[in-house]
Structure 1
Amino acid sequence: MFEFPKFNRSSVKNDVLSGLTVALALVPEAVAFAFVAGVEPMIGLYAAFMVGLVTSLFGGRPGMISGATGAMAVVMVELVMEHGVQYLFAAVLLTGLIQILAGVLRFGKFIRLVPYSVMIGFVNGLAIVIFLAQLGQFKIKNADGNLVWIAGNDLYVMGGLIVLTMAIIHFLPKLTTAVPSTLVAIVVVTLLVYFVPALDTRTVLDFLQGMTGDENATIAGTLPTFAIPAVPFTLETLYIILPYAFILAAVGLIESLLTLTVVDEMTGTRGRPNKECMAQGAANMVNGVFGGMGGCAMIGQSMININSGGRGRLSGFTAAIALLAFILFASSLIEVVPLAALVGVMFIVVIGTFEWASFKMIRKVPAKDVFVIILVTSVTVATDLAFAVFVGVIVSALVFAWEHARHINAEIKESQDGNEKVYNIDGPLFFASVSNFLELFDVNEDPRHVTVDFAQSRVVDHSAIEAISVLNGRYAKEGKKLHIRHLSKDCRKLLHKAGVLVETDASQDPSYAVVSDTLG
C-alpha cells in the first residue's frame, strides 16, 4: 500500500518549502473548524496533523493535502452538542471504518460518474465558500461581545497587507522560482508587522484568543495520546453515532475524491481513488483513538501546495510534521503571523480555484450544462458540498435521460411477400424511452411475424424489459408472433429472469466488453 517515493534535489526542496507554507495556513483554519464543530482548538489541530500525516504516506494522490475541514465540521455540531466530544471520537472511528470498507469494495470508481459540469460547479462554489470564510477575519468582537466589521486605520492596514501579500505571490515567480512565493510573502509580511509598530494588525494569537474568549489561549500543546472513546459499547451508542458516521464518511469521500480529480487535472497525472478512500478511512480511525475531530482532503490547501511546487508525498508529510512542530516547539513564532498574510494567501487560492473560463463557456456549451454549473455552485454556497454534488449528479442524470428518451427511433423494413416486418431500433431502451418505443409499432396493421432488431440499441433496465413484455402481449393478443434478435447476453438474461416469453435469436447476439476497474 505504501510506495517509497523517488526523490531528487529539486523535488525535495519544493516539497519541503511548499509543505511549510501549507502548515502555516493550516493553523487558523484548523482552529476555526474546531469552533464550527463545537470542540476545543487543539482537537482541530490534532486532526489536521494526523489526517495530513496518514494520507500523505498512504493516500492515492501525492501532493494532495488533507486535514480538518468545514464540510465535515458542520455535520459534527449536533452530535457534540447533544452527546459530547467522546461520542464524536466514536463516530469518527466508525467513519474511518466505513471509508476503508468503501475503498475495499472499490467504490472510489464511482467518482467517474460526476459530470464535468458538476466538477466546474464544485470548484466555483468552493472558491466562493473559501472567499466568504475569509471575510470573517474582517470582524472583531466589540465590548458587548458582538462581531462587528473593522473600520478606519485597522481596515486600511489589513487591506494593505493583504494586497502586499497577493502582489508578492503573483510577481515573485516572474523574478525567481527558487523558493515558493507564498512562503516568502508570509515571512515578509510577518517581519514587516513585527518590526514596524505602526502596522499594528491582528495575528494568529489574536484570532485564537478572540475565538476562545481566553486571553491566555495558545496553540502550544503536547503529543496526542491514545485513548479508546469513553462511550458505552452498546447498540444504543451505535444507533446514535451510525447516522453521523455515514454522513461524515460520504461528505469526506466526496470532497476528497473531487479534490483528487481537480489535482489530477492540474498536474496531468492520475490518482488512485480507492486507495485514497482507504487512506482517508485509516486517518479518521487514528483520529478517533487519538482525540482528533477527523477530516478529509482540503482543496484550498491542496491548491497552495500545488501552486508552491509541491507534487510528492514529502510535501504533505512536511506539512503535517511542521504543524506538529509548531504545536510542540514553535507556537510563539506561529502566533505572531498576521492574519492579513494568511487571508492574502487564501484570496490567491480563490482566484486560482475559480474556473473563470466558465463565463466564456456560457455561449459555447448546451444550456443544460450551464444550468448544472450554476445550480451546483449555488447549492454549494447555500448548503454543503456533498448535497450540491448529489443534486448536480441527479439533475445531470435526469437531463441525460430526458435527452436520450427522444432519440429512440426505428428503421422499418418489410419482406417482399409481406409476411414479415423488421423494426431496426436505434437508441437506448430504458425507463425514459419506453413510451416512445411502444409508439413505434403498428400492432393492428403489422403482419403475422414481426422482428425487433436491437443491433443499434440496448435493453438497459427493468422498465425496458416490461416494455418488451407489453409489446409481446399486444402482438399475442392479435395472434401475431414477436421475434427479438441482436440482444446482448446480459439483456437475454434480464428477459429470462423477468419471465418474458418472447422468441430470441441468440446466434447473432453481440457481446459487450466492460471497462476494467484496475486503475481504481
Structure 2
Amino acid sequence: MKWVGRFSGYSAQAFRKDLVSGCIVGIVAIPLGMAFAIASGVKPEYGLYTTIIAGILISLLGGSKFQIGGPTGAFIPVLLAVVMQYGYENLLVAGFLAGVFLVLMGLLRLGSLIRFIPKPVTIGFTSGIAVIIFSGQIANFLGLEGVERHEYFFYNMKEIFLRISSLNLYSVLIAGICLAALILTPKILPKVPGSLVGIIVSTLIASWLFPGKLTTIGAAYGPIPAGLPSFAPLDFTWDRILLMLQPALIIAMLGSIESLLSAVVADEMTGTRHNSNRELIGQGVANMAAPLFGGIPATGAIARTATNIKNGAASPLSGVIHGIVVLLIVVLFAPYASSIPLASMAPILMVVAWNMSEYKNFTHMLKMRTGDSLILLVTFVLTVFTTLTVAVQAGLALAVILFLKRMSGMVAVNKMLPDHTSGKEKVQAHMVSEERNCPQLGIYTIEGTLFFGATHVLEKLEEKLLGDPDLQVVLLRMGRVPFMDTTGEANFISLIQRLMQRGVIVLISGIKPQPKELLLKTGGYAMIGEKRFFEHTGEALNYALENLQFQKCLGCKQFAFRECTGLSSTGSLRQHIS
C-alpha cells in the first residue's frame, strides 16, 4: 500500500512531467556515468550499466520520491583504490556485499543514525574527495602520456610533475572548449545539459580538426559495446568475501551518507519527507543487482536529483524513465561514444569536483576557528593524503573527544544560599560569601550531565566537602541533571558513601526521572534512603536545619538563613523555624 501511495492521484499530466524530467536527467547522466567509471578505474560502459540498473531500482524501491541514483563522484577515490588493490572482479563482490550491508542497515532501522555524523566530518571528506577528483583529471586535461595511477594523492601529483614534458596542446585546447561549454551553456541555454553540449562540441572539433592527435575512450578502453548489459553471476568464495568485507563496509557507509544527504536535499526542495530506512533498503537492493550486470556501486546523486526536481518530476517514475533513456541511448548510439577524447571528459569531472567541494561551507567553518574547524581540517587533510577510511575514523574520533570535552565543561557545581530579598527566598549562588556561609550545612546545585567525562567535577566536590570538618548536612540539588550514566552514578554514590562514613547527612532534592531510575536499578537509591530524597528544595532545607548541631550555632555571625539570628543567641531551632 505504501508503494501504491507514492503514485496516488497519478495522472496523465504527471506522467508528461515525469517523461520530460526523466529524459533530461537521462541525457545528463550519460556523460557523468562514463566519466565516473573512467575515473574509478573501470571501463566507461560499466558506469552506464550502473546508471541503468541501479537508477531504475533506486527509484522503484527507495524511500525518496524524487531520488535519482547512479554512480557518483564521492565513490571515485574509494572505487579506484579497490580496483588498484584488488581488481575489477573483486570490486563487483565488494559492491554486492555493500548492498547487503545497506539492506541490513535499513532493516535494522539505522537510517536515522547517519544523521548523527557531524557536519565538519561530512564537509571535510566531501571537500577532500573533490580535491582528489579534480587533481585526478589534470593528466587527461593536459594530455600527458605514460602517467601511472597511484592510490595516494602525493604520488599522483609527483607522477604529473614527472610527465609534464609530454604536455599535449591539442588536449588542452579541446579540454578548454569543453570547459567553456560547461560554463556558458547554463547561462545561454539553461534547459540544455552543459556536459552533453561540451562533449558533443569538443568531440566534433577534435574529430574534424585534430584526428589522431588525442587519446579517445576507444583508444584507452576499447569500443563501447552497443546492446543490453548481460547477466554475469559473481564468483563468490569465502576467502574473497572475507577479503572484501572492509571495502564493502566503506562503500556502504559512504553510500548511505551520500544517498540520505541527497534525499534530505530533495525534501528541502519539494517540502516532502523521505523514509530513510526504506531508502537504505532500496539502495542496497540496487547495489546487489548492479554488479550482476557489471555495474559499479551506486548511490543517490544530489545534482541529478536536483535536476530531476527542477524539471518538474512528479513521482519516482521519472527516475525509471531516466534509466530507460540511458538504456536506449546505449543500444542505439554507444559506438559513437568511443570517439570521445579523454580531454573532453576531464573538465566534466573537474566541474563536478568544484560543485561538490562545498567551498563556501568549508571556508566559513574554517574561519570560525572552533573545534569544528579542527575536525574539518583534519578530516580534509587525511582524506586527501591518506584514505577515506582513516579520515572518517579520525574525524569522528576527534569529534567525540571535543564533544566530551565540551560536555564535561558544561558540568558545574555551585554552592547556594537562600536569597532573603526575593519573595520565595530562592537559593542563589551569589548569596554565598566569606561573611555569609553556613559552616554546618552545604547546599550545592549540580548542573549538567553526570557521565564518564565529568568525573573531575565530582572529585573536586568530594575533596572540598571532605576537607570541611564542621560539615554536618549536605543538600544536593539535582533538578538540573537530566542524565546520568553508570560511571557518573558510581562516582556520585562514592561521594555520598564517603560523606556518610564521615557522619554527614546527605539530602537530595529535585532528582530527574532518568537519574532516579538508574539509582533504583543500582541500589544507590536504597543506600541513600528514600527519606533523604525530596521533591522541593524548601522541604529538604527544613529537614536539614532540624539536623544541625545547634550548640555550634551559638555565637555564629554568618546568618546564612533566617533562623540563624535566633539560633546564634539561643541555639534552639524549635523557637525559630516555621
TM range (shorter): 0.7 to 0.9
How does the TM-score come out when normalised to structure 2?
Answer: 0.72
- 1:67 is aligned to 2:74: no
Match of 1:197 among 196, 199, 209: 209
Match of 1:16 among 13, 23, 35: 23
Structure 2 gap segments, 5+ residues each: 149-158, 419-436, 537-578
Match of 2:461, SS state, is coil
Which has the higher mean CA deviation after the structures are superposed, 308-317 or 58-67? 308-317
Offset, 1:405 = 1.5
Q: Which residue does the alignment assign to 1:169?
A: 185
Give the counterpart letter for 1:110 in structure 2.
L
Change (3 A) 1:100 1:484: farther
How does the TM-score come out when normalised to structure 1?
Answer: 0.79
- 1:469 is aligned to 2:493: yes
Change (3 A) 1:241 1:156: closer
Change (3 A) 1:119 1:187: same
Give the counterpart letter for 2:219 in structure 1.
Q
Q: Which residue does the alignment assign to 1:491?
A: 515
**Aligned counterparts of 1:144 and 1:248: Cα–Cα separation in 2:** 27
Offset, 1:455 = 1.2
Q: 1:41-92: per-residue Cα shift (whole Å, max 9, x none)?
A: 65554334322221122223324432273255246447845xx83x655554
The answer on whether the counterparts of 2:63 and 2:282 sit within 8 Å (CA) in structure 1 is yes
Match of 1:471, SS state, is helix
Change (3 A) 1:407 1:142: closer
**Aligned counterparts of 1:390 and 1:384: Cα–Cα separation in 2:** 10
The answer on whether the counterparts of 1:411 and 1:424 sit within 8 Å (CA) in structure 2 is yes
Q: Which residue does the alignment assign to 2:528?
A: 502
- Output aligned runs, 1:274-293, within 5 Å: 274-293=277-296
- Output aligned runs, 1:443-462, within 5 Å: 443-444=465-466, 445=468, 447-462=471-486
Change (3 A) 1:293 1:343: closer
Give the counterpart letter for 1:434 in structure 2.
T
**Aligned counterparts of 2:134 and 2:270: Cα–Cα separation in 1:** 24
**Aligned counterparts of 2:446 and 2:121: Cα–Cα separation in 1:** 32
Offset, 1:30 = 1.9
Match of 2:170 among 131, 135, 154: 154
Structure 1 gap segments, 5+ residues each: 510-520
Match of 1:452, SS state, is strand
The answer on whether the counterparts of 1:257 and 1:273 sit within 8 Å (CA) in structure 2 is yes
Q: 1:388-434: per-residue Cα shift (whole Å, max 9, x none)?
A: 33332332221122123122222323589976433211222222222
Give the counterpart letter for 1:253 in structure 2.
S
The answer on whether the counterparts of 1:380 and 1:388 sit within 8 Å (CA) in structure 2 is yes
Change (3 A) 1:256 1:141: same
Offset, 1:107 = 0.8
The answer on whether the counterparts of 2:35 and 2:349 sit within 8 Å (CA) in structure 1 is no
The answer on whether the counterparts of 1:51 and 1:284 sit within 8 Å (CA) in structure 2 is yes
Offset, 1:475 = 0.9
- Output aligned runs, 1:375-454, within 5 Å: 375-413=378-416, 420-441=441-462, 442-444=464-466, 445=468, 447-454=471-478
- 1:479 is aligned to 2:489: no
Higher-Rg structure is: 2
Q: Which residue does the alignment assign to 1:333?
A: 336
- Report the identity percentage: 25
- Output aligned runs, 1:80-119, within 5 Å: 80-81=86-87, 85=89, 89-119=92-122
**Aligned counterparts of 2:521 and 2:252: Cα–Cα separation in 1:** 35
Offset, 1:478 = 0.8
The answer on whether the counterparts of 1:118 and 1:392 sit within 8 Å (CA) in structure 2 is yes
**Aligned counterparts of 2:360 and 2:248: Cα–Cα separation in 1:** 37
Match of 1:218 among 215, 224, 248: 224
Match of 1:295 among 282, 298, 313: 298
The answer on whether the counterparts of 1:448 and 1:479 sit within 8 Å (CA) in structure 2 is yes
The higher-RCO structure (CA 8 Å, 6+ apart) is: 1
**Aligned counterparts of 1:209 and 1:310: Cα–Cα separation in 2:** 38
Give the counterpart letter for 2:451 in structure 1.
F
Match of 1:440, SS state, is helix
Q: Which residue does the alignment assign to 2:357?
A: 354
**Aligned counterparts of 2:137 and 2:289: Cα–Cα separation in 1:** 30
Offset, 1:217 = 3.6
Q: 1:445-464: per-residue Cα shift (whole Å, max 9, x none)?
A: 27333232221123342221
